[in-house]
Amino acid sequence: MSQTNTTDAHEVLFELAGHVATIVLNRPAKLNAVTPAMAARLIELVDRCNADPDVRVVILTGAGEKAFCAGSDISDLDDYASPWDFRNRPDYCDAIRQSNKPIICAINGYALGGGLETAMSCDIRLGAANARFGAPEIKLGWIGGGGMSYLLAHSVGPSNAALMLLTGDPIDAACALSWGLVSEVLEFSALRPRALALAQTIAARAPIAAETAKTNLRAAYAVPLETAVQYERDLQTICFATEDAKEGREAFKQKRTARFRRR
């Protein structure tokens, strides 16, 4: 399948205010299902944020009150020339996981299939009270391919992950909170303000330290304890040598707010 498709720029919105970038999936009539062109746009925007030193935190959310993202648009899947072309398609979840910048996902409704993978690829997840989370691929004859099994197992535990993967049935926001899939559940009207307030808090921290903390946390999933501690100690030393760390120490001594400059 050709990836030269063009998408209406309004289907994936982007805004940068201060040090916080906001990306909005804006196809609410289709539950914000992602087309190949939208996927390419998402990858482009994540890469743009990753390369921009003014961006310290990213918020990812969906338009409307019904869905964050229902995954890939199923109507497009038969357009791939072969299963191999489908397997090698550019994956926006990969781009999200590989971003250096902290990403907050504000889940404003259904997060299904690739939408759930997208949310789990982010660092912090906040859910609206009406949110629903599911891995329904098994109902259509396949399984998720954007890290679904690994991310679910690490988020909700192996038994709960198996329950979701083998039934395909969704869970509600309260269950997602109790299982640790989301950090907070809020009323819909409070979701975006809370995500912005949290993003602004993180953006006010030392950005090199924030990016390093994210890198360290991801590494913690992959290595044994002793290796993780040594890696963390090395990263701590790198952060300690930055101008921001010096500024943090001086601000503490002077009892003032630190002014971090990403140096």
Active site residues: 117, 137
The secondary structure element, H or E, covering residue 96 is helix 92-98
The answer to whether the CB of 130 falls within 8 A of the CB of 65 is yes
The secondary structure element, H or E, covering residue 118 is helix 114-121
Relative to beta strand 110-112, strand 67-69 is parallel
245 CB contacts (<8 Å, ≥6 apart)? 206, 209, 239
Q: Looking at this protein, which amino acid is placed at residue 247?
A: E
The secondary structure element, H or E, covering residue 16 is strand 12-17
The secondary structure element, H or E, covering residue 42 is helix 36-51
What values do phi and psi take at 236, rounded to 5? -60, -40
First to last CA, the chain: 43
20 CB contacts (<8 Å, ≥6 apart)? 55, 56, 57, 58, 59, 196, 199, 200, 203
Tokens of 104: 């907050």
Compute the distance between CA of residue 25 and CA of residue 203 in angstroms, rounded to an integer: 22
* Residue that has been written with the tokens 């049935």 in this structure: 169
Query: Which DSSP category does 32 fall into?
Result: T
